[in-house]
Structure 1
């Protein structure tokens, strides 16, 4: 669909927002609906019911997107805090295991630590996945040990609790991120459809209300009507005066527009 309508005779140009700029499409939809609902039902465009439905669906999708983003940030923030605890507890695990296996360091692998045969070193896990795997194997090995033979530092209950929290918040972050991505796709699709119908309604208004004469009254519906830009050199060559460049006129003010939280477009 085009994003502008030009009339060779009119001094104005009739512009539509880029569908990729969802807040602009949302603002136009909100102003359009407000204007249409102030008119008698018989005078409203045939596209108005569709636009109202799409607008409501887009608003709901945008709110779901914000919710998913808040959940993702919350899970991510908590996960960062837990990772600090994980580094400390894994270090304590490493100290206890290497002390127990000082004569046979390769046995540290039973508790999930990597052993470097060439150097004889027991390595600390470095990544999130490595720490999680080490903690999982450590828990399994300790649970196989008689109670009297288990390490007292760190407490196995603390290791298990932290491991479960890490898994839960990691899964929550992944789930929220996936939901966010799905919502971005849905919002983009709805914005495109809403943009197309707003353009169709704009052309309908131009034809039925203004007889294809571009009028600044279209701004009442939220549409952007601006003065055409003209090359001064062309005007002077024709013997006419150069017309000043007019800045785009502003649309009606809009309240409670959704934030562009995804930054993906």
Structure 2
């Protein structure tokens, strides 16, 4: 059982509510549920009685486990806090990895962080679409902004920064370029990095689905961007390595949680 999973279980034992636990830890409710179910699978027994979703409670096993874990958890957290204090200035930098070049969209968050926590140094760097979590695992970044869902057992998914639609990037001389919006029934094979069947779209060029913010930063001549009216919204959230969580990461997560989930359409 990882330290973050222990923290989730102990917090749920206090709150007895998945939503309040998620809010308190600045995590998604799905992440809380996933953690508890994972612990139950490993133990082979239920820790939480969900008979009444509005009034959950710990099972006898869950109560006993929390009582056994709490002293050890406090000792570990105190040891980590002492180690961070001893590290001094080496631990003041927060390195954020961004997929793409839209760091300007988050300027209000960056400014709030710098104003509220002047003792921390904020560093923004670009990371690759093809290896979004490698920098976390190699210790090159402390947190990344990634699109959901993220289902990596060693990573924590924090609060959502924003949501945005998917748009289709097409050549301006194609049949679809003059259409204001299309359903995925018409653009039926669009997915990240895929090209649409030429039998649907014609024989010249290709079409890709991209994030709605992309045209603001990469507006190339000869390319039109069409909304896909029934596609799921993209959700972008903070993600960090569970075992490398720091005060800086928690501070940033709190600020993002305060800003809510702005819709960048």
Structure 1 length as normaliser, TM-score?
0.24
Q: Which has more helix, going by share of residues? A: 1
Q: Which has more strand, going by share of residues? A: 2
Structure 2 length as normaliser, TM-score?
0.24
